[in-house]
Amino acid sequence: MSKKDIRICGLGGQGVIMGGMIIGKSASIYEDRYATLVQSFGPEARGSECSAQVMVSDEPIAFPYIRKSDVFVALSQGAYEKFVHELKDDSVLVYESELVALDDRVPAGAKRFGIPGTRIAEEDIGRRIVFNMVMLGFLASVTDIVELEAMRRAVSSSVPPGTEKFNLEAFDKGYAYGLEKIAS
């Protein structure tokens, strides 16, 4: 049984939940596997910390809350501080390299993949809003949570009609960046 526990955390507005939802959709709809997503927010309507716990599995998932994460996507320093302890020696840490500074709390064996996602979204696509798509593409390349195609289909079916193109573009940018990273 292949099961992956993924934590995505960042600030409101970074598209954290949407990101988690696309992973869940990819798995449960486009791969006919199972997924759960549990979300949490601060009390503020805006600007508060926001976290998604995503689980993807071949079998139904009873308990949707993460004890240790297989993959942790850290999109802000606060997020990193809060959940770095969840990492295991074989976890994958994906982070926004211009917003998050790592330290020695990352387990030695954990893989780390940083990407300046905000800048890529702003500079390459010209829209800060696709930041989460960049991150998703990147994630797709550096992990094997779900198939690339399932993920791309989930992106298309999740974004507002008419915006598929540039969202996928952002996704692909992130994916490409990841491939480079791995290669390097």
> Could you tell me the smallest distance in angstroms from the CB atom of residue 42 to another protein?
8
- Spell out the residues 6+ positions from residue 136 whose beta carbon is closer than 8 angstroms to its own: 19, 22, 23, 151, 155, 171, 174
Footprint of another protein on 4-33 (CB under 8 A): 20-21, 24-25, 28-29, 32
Judged by DSSP in three states, 71 sits in strand
Percent of the chain as helix, strand, coil, to the nearest 5: 45, 25, 30
Residue 29 interacting entry, from ligand SF4, another protein, none, C-beta within 5 to 8 Å by type: another protein
CB 5 to ligand SF4: min, Å: 32
Looking at residues 69 to 88 of the shown chain, list those that interact with another protein (rule: CB under 8 A): none
Matching residue, tokens 């989930």: 154
Shortest Cβ distance from residue 121 to ligand SF4 (Å)?
25
Taking CB within 5 to 8 Å according to partner kind, which of ligand SF4, another protein, none is near residue 166? none
Helices (DSSP H) in the chain: which residue ranges? 16-25, 77-83, 117-119, 131-142, 148-158, 164-183
| CB of residue 17 to ligand SF4, shortest distance in Å | 17
| Interface residues toward ligand SF4, by CB under 6 A | 45-46
Question: SS3 for 37?
Answer: strand
Per the document, the length of the chain is 184
Q: Could you list the residues that contact another protein (CB under 8 A)?
A: 20-21, 24-25, 28-29, 32, 34-39, 41, 43-47, 61-65, 67
